[in-house]
Amino acid sequence: MAFFPLETERLVLRAVTQADAAAIADYQGREDVARYVPWPPRSRQRVEELIPRWMAMNGEGEGSEGVQYAIVLKADGCLIGDCMLMYGDREARQGEIGYLLSPHHHGMGYGTEAARAMLKMGFETAGLHRIAARCDARNTASWRVMEKLGMRREAHFREHALFKGEWDEELVYAMLEDEWRAGQGQN
């Protein structure tokens, strides 16, 4: 199976490399970017520590956690974010996608474009049956991406966890393989 690279009209989703540390730390180190994710803003040192794990996420083999991508603009090679598909229950063919973009590239459709490429890869290459995504209910931009993709809202968990000192409300969206295929004009 070939998981790298994925190409869209405007993006290349490729493997993360050590050379990406500064660009990733530039946006992952921001308070506004870390607001709705389960970790605090990341320093360049922390990103450098995580890169070997992300590089190992190549989708191959039983031990793989999933696939991690750097999101790069085709036009100029600028790294604008990262995204991943995590494997859940392998026997039941479950997965979950996530995406994170630099605020300098919000509102341009890049998140939707990258997430659509991951759904395609998850269903058509990884052979998944169901792919989910979740976000903080206050993260309107994230759940709007899920809805643009045709994912269905399956849950709204109210005050289910303390998250960064506040009660968290989480939305869960999902799509099944047959729903993906129907949306692509396939049976």
Domain boundaries, the chain: 6-183
Q: Give 95's Cβ-side CA count (13 Å radius).
A: 31
- pTM over 0.85, yes/no: yes
Show the DSSP H helices in 121-184 as ranges. Answer: 140-148, 177-183
The yes or no reply on domain 6-183 and CATH 3.30.450.20 is no
pLDDT mean for each 10 residues of the chain (187 residues):
90 98 98 94 98 93 90 98 95 96 97 97 96 96 96 94 87 97 78
Q: What is the C-alpha separation between 129 and 93, in angstroms, rounded? A: 5
Residue 60 confidence (pLDDT):
85
- Secondary-structure breakdown of the chain: helix, strand, coil percentages, each rounded to the nearest 5: 35, 35, 35
Q: What is the C-alpha separation between 92 and 159, in angstroms, rounded? A: 29
Q: Are 57 and 96 in contact (CB under 8 A)?
A: no
